[in-house]
Structure formats: structure tokens, C-alpha cells
Amino acid sequence: MPRNVPKKNIAQKRKPKPKAEQAGNDTLLKVLKFSVYLFMVSCIIAATYNYRHGILYYLGFKTDKRVENLTRKERKIADLRIYEIVERYKDKVFGIDVSHYQGSINWDTIAQNKNTFPIHFIFIRATAGKDGRDTKYNRNWSGASKSGMIRGAYHYYRPDENSIKQADNFIKTVTLAKGDLPPVLDIERIPNTQSLDSLKAGLKRWLNRVEGHYGVKPIIYSGESFYTDFLKEEFKGYKLWIANYSFLEDKIRDEWHFWQFTDKAAINGIDGNVDVNIYNGTMEGLKEYLITRL
């Protein structure tokens, strides 16, 4: 009986590729690598050009600028964007907004106007919710006036509190005069104990109550995403003050009347960070927007 001899597995040897084909593959690989490299370099060049003013400032080539308290990498990155936007919008009007978080502001220093950009208007937090009052409101309101700044007051809206009581809290606290900015409703959060429809109804009640008292349509302040997701469709016709601090957002949009583009600016006369805003127009345009009668 014949033995079952196992068959040997003979490995199939791959035929070497023709030299011409191999050379073609190598060339294609080199082209792909070069294309990726070129794309990356182009992106870097484009970003550098886009933020050229901020980069020049950051590197110290612009000695007419002044920066204080740059002790953290985050501040350096923030300043890169701040000075780029300031350089880009020289024709616009700059302002800040403050609350008790800024502590005791040295209004005389701010009035001397020796900052990186001139400050022409200030939004001041007056109230929060149905009974909250900013502890620095009176001091800031008076200081802004003595410094010759255009001033405006805003209310921080608490979504789960009664809207009419919140409006009355603002009205009792804030006395506006000719030359002031319209009142501002600051809404940033969704409610915990009510629906979005209830929130929107409450916001409308606040806006109507305040407009009825002062005789001027209020401004709505919110973050860009919050406004777009929850408010845009039902609150058309109001002037907008939009917050967007994204490093990739470096242009003011046509529909934004005010743009809060950073919360990390260093301003002479204020300890710590402060928000900076741009009015989307000229000083003449801003003055036309102020309260003319009450």
C-alpha cells in the first residue's frame, strides 16, 4: 500500500515589478508627499498673513502698543487675536462692558485714553434676575459719565425667574438719560424648570415692559450659538450684541450691531481681564443710535 506523502507547499515567488512601473509608483508617492507639504505650508502662510498685525505686535515690532500682565500662554494667544482685530477695524468704534467682577475700576486712568485702542462706550451691568443688583453699578455708572464715555446698562436674565419682576428690578435700578445707549437684555442660558417656549414668552414680556417704560427698543445680548439656536427666528427686529470669542472668528457680521470679540483684554485702569466690543459703524452712527428723549 503506497504511503501518503504530504505535498510540499511551494511558495509562489512574486515576480518583481518592472523597473519602469516601480519608478512610476515612487514618483507618484513623492508627488503626494510634496502636495501635502505644500498644502500645509500654504495654510501656515495664509494664517500668518491673516493675523499678520497681531503676529508683528506679538513679536515686538510695533512699539507703540502696550501690554500688561502677560503671564500666561492663554493671554499671549488672546492678545494675538485682539491686536489683529483692532488693526483690522480701525474705522470702527470700540468699547468695553463691566460688572462687579472687574472690581474697583480706576475711571481716571481709563479717561486718559492711553490704551491700545480708544474706548468710547461702556455697557455696565445693573441687575440680575428678579432682585439682584450689581454691587459696583452706581460707582461704574457715575464713573463712566464723569469720564465722558457713552454708557449703557444691561440686565442679566435668569431663565427660571419671573420676567416681569426682572423687568421691574431693572426699571427701579436704572435711570436712563438723553445720550445713553438703549437698555440691554442679556440672555445666555436655557431654563432648568420651564420649557423653551416659556423662556421666549418671558423674554418678550421683559422686552415689552422695558420698552414701554423707557420708550426705546432694547438691545439683545447673547452668545452667537445661543441666539442662532433659540432666539433668531422669534426676535427679529432687535439690535444685536453678539459674543463670539472663537480664534477662527475674526470678522464682524453685518447683522451684529455690537460684537464682543474677547473676554481677555488688558485695559489700563482695570485689574484682570475685561470684555471688548466693537460697534459695527462709525462714531457718528453710534451717536444717532443713542437715546434722544425720554
97 in catalytic set: yes
Among 79, 84, 87, 97, the one annotated catalytic: 97
249 in catalytic set: no
Among 108, 188, 263, 288, the one annotated catalytic: 188
- 3-class SS letters over the chain: CCCCCCCCCCCCCCCCCCHHHHHHHHHHHHHHHHHHHHHHHHHHHHHHHHCHHHHHHHCCCCCCCCCCCCCCHHHHHHHHHHHHHHHHCCCCEEEEEECHHHCCCCHHHHHCCCCCCCCCEEEEEEEECCCEECCCHHHHHHHHHHCCCEEEEEEECCCCCCHHHHHHHHHHHCCCCCCCCCCEEECCCCCCCCCHHHHHHHHHHHHHHHHHHHCCCCEEEEEHHHHHHHHCCCCCCCEEEEECCCCCCCCCCCCCCEEEEEEEECCCCCCCCEEEEEECCCHHHHHHHCCCCC
The residues that are catalytic are 97, 188
